[in-house]
Amino acid sequence: MERSAAMTRKTVAAAPTERPPKRPTAGSRIRHFTHFDAAGQAHMVDVGDKDITRRVARAGGRITMLPATLETIRGGSAKKGDVLGVARIAAIQAAKRTSDLIPLCHPVPLTRVAVEFAFDTHSPAIAIEVTAETLDRTGVEMEALTAAATGLLTIYDMCKAADRAMRIEGIRLLEKSGGKSGRFVAAG
């Protein structure tokens, strides 16, 4: 492949203009990213002074597929076995291992992880909903989200030989409660 002159030319970027970080003023509602320090460097948030409270998070998503794939899973006749049973265990395991996967996530002693699946024959799709709970100083949103994603990925893995066009979509936080920031419920 021939390289054009534009591809071989080196460009020198101008030095970035240094601006002091914006500081929220009293009463302002500027949101900031807590995983960055004042110098903009990534760091693990110090939760040592936070109160231990009950924290709950619910996350969900879905995987769309061919109608025949949905029926195979629903009927329990997949060649690799009980697809949803394995996906449930994978989701629970992922919740427990979240801090190993997400670099700045605190290890959290989970008190409960529940995984539910629902069939949607109209789409066709399978929806997952994961609830994670703890009594700790930090929330479990990442645990619920990681579990939902892993559960859906496991369904894909177990059925990909029959349907490589499956699509994972809509993974999101549905609800969270506990801690200083209070309650959040997703719209829709």
Does 136 qualify as catalytic in the annotation?
A: no
b (16+ CB within 10 A) / e for 100-123: eeeeebbebebeebbbebeeeeee
User: In 34-146, at which residue ranges do the beta strands (DSSP E only) sit?
Assistant: 53-64, 110-120, 125-136
Count of CB atoms situated within 10 Å of the CB of 138: 19
| Residues in the chain, total | 188
- What span, in angstroms and rounded, lies between the C-alpha atoms of 169 and 94? 18
Name the 3-class secondary structure at 16.
coil
The amino acid sitting at 155 is I
Spot the catalytic one: 49, 51, 120, 157. 157
Cβ neighbours for 34, distance < 8 A, ≥ 6 positions apart = 45
Decide if 142 contacts 105 (C-beta within 8 A).
Answer: yes
* Residue keyed to tokens 């997400």: 102
Per-residue tokens: 33: 């990213």
Active site residues: 157
